[in-house]
Amino acid sequence: MEALIIKPTGRLATKACYFLGLSLLLFLAGVAWAGPVEEDVQWPERRENMVRHQIVSRGIKDVRVLEAMRKVQRHLFVDGAVKALAYEDMPLPIGHGQTISQPYIVAFMTQTAAPKASDRVLEIGTGSGYQAAILAELSKEIYSIEIVKELALGARELLERLDYRNIFIRHGDGYAGWPEQAPFDVILVTAAPPEIPEKLLEQLAVGGRMVLPVGDKGFQELHLVTKTRHGIVTKKILPVSFVPMVKA
């Protein structure tokens, strides 16, 4: 069946166009008005619920970490298609076969690394830039390496737009680290190598901590590595599942 189209003429056409235009303006005004309400009210509430029910309830107690998780807007670091799930306790795709870690894991790894305000931090696997933003709330300087060029450029643009001045992003091979900026007080790796990379151990300062998942795609464990004056101390913490750490 064909649609019946009525074409108004003369004064009727003028009135029809007037009311159509007015309706469109009112609709657009309503959309513009509704947007900030969602941003100002809905997202902070969801973020607070995330912290209370997914993070505090599961044993994260570091006050500085909790405040960073409350402050950084996770929904800005995921695509529009999954934005509604930004504050659910799950990893989310960010493109190029990569993911943003679930909020609890981000908080857990950050608390385990125990970054101080004066620390210089190396992050391997920038991804969307969310973990870097959390670390930037807690430490002096963040050096982050991402092997996927598109993700590195996107994260840099977003973090600059959010006015993070203490985050430096490089497109490159995480296995090589960032030797010209070493040593680092904290190294945090957000992808899983089959074994602890030797060059990252070399770039860890004495007294420094490295947190990383280690293992193949089938089974990985989160490790806390501490460098002391007498050598390397490694502690296995819990089973995890991360994307593999890829070499250039």
| DSSP states of 99-166 | EEPPHHHHHHHHHHH---TT-EEEEE--TTSHHHHHHHTTSSEEEEEESSHHHHHHHHHHHHHTT--S
Do the beta carbons of residue 56 and residue 103 sit within 8 Å? no
Closest Cα partner for 246 from 179, 182, 184, 171?
Answer: 171
Active-site hit among 23, 101, 128, 144? 101
Do the beta carbons of residue 92 and residue 103 sit within 8 Å? no
Task: Judge whether 23 counts as a catalytic residue.
Answer: no
Residue 230 neighbours by CB distance under 10 Å:
7
d(CA 114, CA 56) in angstroms, rounded, equals 16
Active site residues: 101
